[in-house]
């Protein structure tokens, strides 16, 4: 094992991080290679800096005129220069400040400096590399984004154990929703029964893809309490908080913060990893910009820096760094005085579509074989098709009606109402209801 990796492991010894690191995570470090030496040179090379492999002219990175014309608001350093492996330092600081502003339950809790990754998918994959060994237990509710299977089961060879996302009889939010809510009892039992070698990983995603459900404030408290209860019993718990759709909360009883706020200082045996980004929050899907932030009770700045060094080393070994122009453009957007008002305007547009879908479902007289799963947030809602194959319904809608939807597990049909215009929702759902009636056995 490399000496730098061993030094980082020594810093982390005695913490929950040391107990949760995978073999990969224990071996990784950020080398004193070209990027690190270039960073050092930028601070101290006052005369000449001949470190980084970029071509300069007139003391600026060379930039082709068509590129400059396409990005007139950015300097060559902001558009075509390499970004630091961990991301633009100013953007990292600003994103951390945003996390505190958006999550007041964090208070003054100490968390790590966010590290920039090329999208949330990469952030989840990096976290899996650092903490998940083959054969480890990864617990995810059964309504989950299918990419989790690729990341955990196929890349890391760690079996995903799922449990029913909703429990009938629990209280769900939203007018007209069925009497279902989060299956917290199922979560507790699954975490207990699947833990291996005294540790377990949990992945939570709210607003959820594919259901569009987020916990109520009471459910968020109960979820945090059950994690704390298990941690107090000696279980080491990694919680990956996938906040891809953060902020799209439409009902007043929904917990409007990230669960990271409740978990980051919950217990010394709990490490929370917040994976978020600009992708959906700031409506820049093609930017591919995500952030990875760590939080655990008892960790110091030195611990967080050691953990970030391992993460940065993993990034250096895989994708090197993230897009510089995307980071520069996001930083400019965050500083723009119209930023918050613009976001609010588009949030209200999505909320209006959500409310329209609610009304359509409540007043329907057809499509009764489609059971509405609880939804109160995000981009999506889902039906459980009681009349047969959900994939047959999807294919019928596509081939016979020219309507694209997504089927899951051959039981559920997901509709992304976020991608529809408001006046398209009524005819869309009308066709879905009629198709369900046509195919129902």
Rounded Cα distance, 437 and 441, in Å: 9
Q: Characterise 272 by phi-psi region: left (phi > 0), alpha (psi -120 to 50), beta (else).
A: beta
323, 340, 341, 281: which is closest to 74 by C-alpha?
323
CATH for the stretch 3-30+85-335: 3.40.640.10
**pLDDT tier at 65 (50, 70, 90 boundaries)?**
confident
207 preceded by cis ω (within 30°)? Answer: yes
Pick 352 or 34 by higher pLDDT: 352
Predicted pLDDT at 179: 60
Spans of all domains in the chain: 3-30+85-335, 340-439
98 or 179, greater pLDDT: 98
pLDDT band for position 34 (cuts 50, 70, 90): low
Give me the pLDDT at residue 55, please: 79
Residue 176 is predicted with a pLDDT of 45
Listed residue (346, 375, 135) closest to 250, CA to CA:
375
Query: Residues 148-155: what's their mean pLDDT?
Result: 96
167 close to 274: Cβ distance less than 8 angstroms: no
Could you tell me which residue, 441 or 301, shows the higher pLDDT? Answer: 301
Residue 172 has pLDDT above 60, yes or no: no
Average pLDDT over residues 334-361: 96
- Average pLDDT for the chain: 92
The three state secondary structure string of 46-76 is CCCCCCCCCCEECCEECCCHHHHHHCCCCCH
d(CA 437, CA 393) in angstroms, rounded, equals: 10
Q: Is 402 left (phi over 0), alpha (psi -120 to 50) or beta?
A: left
Output phi, psi for 293, to 5 deg: -130, 135
Q: 171 pLDDT exceeds 70?
A: no
CA distance 16 to 410: 39
**Residue 145 — pLDDT band, cuts 50, 70, 90?**
very high
The pair of three-digit structure tokens given for residue 245, joined into one six-digit string: 């759709």
What's the N-to-C CA distance of the chain in angstroms?
61
Contact 305, 282 (CB under 8 A): no
Span 388-409, average pLDDT: 96
Q: Give 340-439's CATH code, choosing from 3.40.109.10, 3.40.640.10, 3.90.1150.10, 2.70.98.20.
A: 3.90.1150.10
Residue 19, pLDDT above cutoff 90: yes
- Tell me the backbone φ, ψ of residue 328, rounded to 5 degrees: -65, -45
Report whether pLDDT(175) > 70: no
At 264, is the pLDDT very low, low, confident or very high (cuts 50, 70, 90)? very high
Which among 423, 429, 428, 391 is positioned nearest to 407, based on CA atoms?
Answer: 391
CA 159/CA 236 separation, integer angstroms: 18
% of the chain with per-residue pLDDT over 90: 82
Mean pLDDT over residues 384-411, rounded? 95
| Beta bridge pairs of residue 381 | 415
381-385/412-415 β-pairing:
antiparallel
Cβ-contact 239, 273 below 8 angstroms: yes
Q: What is the predicted pLDDT for the residue at 13?
A: 97
Considering only 87-96, 164-173, 356-365, 383-392, which range has the smallest mean pLDDT?
164-173
pLDDT band at 81 (very low <50, low <70, confident <90, very high): confident
Its pTM stands at 0.93
Strand partners for 415: 381
How large is the average pLDDT for residues 424-441?
95
Instruction: For residue range 207-223, list pLDDT tens digits in order.
Output: 999 999 999 999 999 99
Q: Which residues of 245-267 are buried (b: 16+ CB within 10 A; e: fewer)?
A: bbbbbbbebbbbbbbbbbbbbbb
pLDDT score of 32: 73
CB atoms under 10 Å from CB of 282, counted, come to 19
The whole-number average pLDDT for the span 228-250 is 97
């Amino acid at each position: 094992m490399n000496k730098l990796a061993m030094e980082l492991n020594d810093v982390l010894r005695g913490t929950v991080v040391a107990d949760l690191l995978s073999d990969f995570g224990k071996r990784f470090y950020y080398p004193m290679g070209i990027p690190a030496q270039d960073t050092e040179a930028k601070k101290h090379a006052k005369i000449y800096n001949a470190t980084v492999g970029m071509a300069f002219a007139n003391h600026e990175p060379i930039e082709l005129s068509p590129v400059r014309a396409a990005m007139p608001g950015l300097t060559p350093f902001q558009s075509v220069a390499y970004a630091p492996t961990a991301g633009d330092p100013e953007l990292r600081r600003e994103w951390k400040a945003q996390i505190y502003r958006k999550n007041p339950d964090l208070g003054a809790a100490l968390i790590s400096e966010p590290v920039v990754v090329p999208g949330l998918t990469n952030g989840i994959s990096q976290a899996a590399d650092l903490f998940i060994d083959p054969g480890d237990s990864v617990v995810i509710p059964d309504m989950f984004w299918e990419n989790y299977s690729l990341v955990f089961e196929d890349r890391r060879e760690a079996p995903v154990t799922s449990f029913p996302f909703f429990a009938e009889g629990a209280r769900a939010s939203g007018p007209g929703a069925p009497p279902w809510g989060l299956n917290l009892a199922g979560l507790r039992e699954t975490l207990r029964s699947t833990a291996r070698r005294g540790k377990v990983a949990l992945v939570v995603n709210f607003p959820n893809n594919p259901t569009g459900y987020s916990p109520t404030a009471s459910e968020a408290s109960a979820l945090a309490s059950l994690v704390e209860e298990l941690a107090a019993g000696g279980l080491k718990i990694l919680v990956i908080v996938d906040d891809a759709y953060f902020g799209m909360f439409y009902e007043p009883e929904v917990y409007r913060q990230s669960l990271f706020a409740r978990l980051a200082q919950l217990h010394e045996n709990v490490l929370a990893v917040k994976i978020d980004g600009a992708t959906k929050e700031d409506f820049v899907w093609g930017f591919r910009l995500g952030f990875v932030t760590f939080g655990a009770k008892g960790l110091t700045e030195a611990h967080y820096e050691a953990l970030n060094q391992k993460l940065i080393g993993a990034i250096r070994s895989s994708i090197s760094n993230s897009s510089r122009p995307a980071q520069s453009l996001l930083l400019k957007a965050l500083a723009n005085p119209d930023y918050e008002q613009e976001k609010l305007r588009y949030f209200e547009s999505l909320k209006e579509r959500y409310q329209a879908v609610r009304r359509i479902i409540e007043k329907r007289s057809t499509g009764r074989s489609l059971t509405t799963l609880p939804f109160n947030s995000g981009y999506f809602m889902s039906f459980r098709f009681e009349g047969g194959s959900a994939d047959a319904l999807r294919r019928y809608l596509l081939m016979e009606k020219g309507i694209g939807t997504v089927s899951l597990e051959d039981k559920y049909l997901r509709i992304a109402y976020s991608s529809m215009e408001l006046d398209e929702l009524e005819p869309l759902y009308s066709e879905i209801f009629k198709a369900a009636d046509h195919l129902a056995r």
